[in-house]
Amino acid sequence: MYRELLIRIAEASTHVPLAPRFLIRRSQLALQLRRFDQAVADAARAVPMAEASAGSGEVSCEIGRAQLALGRALLAQGKRSEAHTALAAAIDNLAPTLGADHQETRLARQLAGQL
């Protein structure tokens, strides 16, 4: 309940787009707790929010992180094709913003390579 309140407050904020970060983190926690449906739902909510805050057609590490969270959650559900699409989008956003050798970029590549 507390986390959902934080997300609602962040969604209402016009200054800093915090909601995607909260949703990504909550998706990661749900994944650890093996609550795969919740992990997918939170990551899927974070993606369009991150895209909106970045601007049309822009790359962003926030979009990459949301796509990575979505890819990981979809992979946990066994949805390999959808996971591959999300992971490819994660790589497209993480590599130019964080670098090819960053741990999140490497993780996205590793997971995509397993599909």
pLDDT bin (cut points 50, 70, 90) of residue 35 is very high
The gap between the terminal CA atoms of the chain, to the nearest Å, is 35
Range with the lowest mean pLDDT among 19-23, 96-100, 104-108? 19-23
User: Residue 39 — φ and ψ, nearest 5°?
Assistant: -60, -45
- The predicted structure's pLDDT at residue 18: 78
Per-residue pLDDT tens over the stretch 41-54 = 999 999 999 999 88
- Mean pLDDT (whole number) for 77-90: 98
Contact present, 89 and 65 (Cβ < 8 Å): no
- Specify whether domain 2-113 bears CATH 1.25.40.10: yes
User: Residue 54 — φ and ψ, nearest 5°?
Assistant: -80, -30
Angle formed by the axes of helices 103-113 and 61-76, to 10°? 40
- The predicted structure's pLDDT at residue 57: 85
Is residue 7 predicted with pLDDT exceeding 80? no
Contact present, 47 and 63 (Cβ < 8 Å): yes
Domain ranges of the chain: 2-113
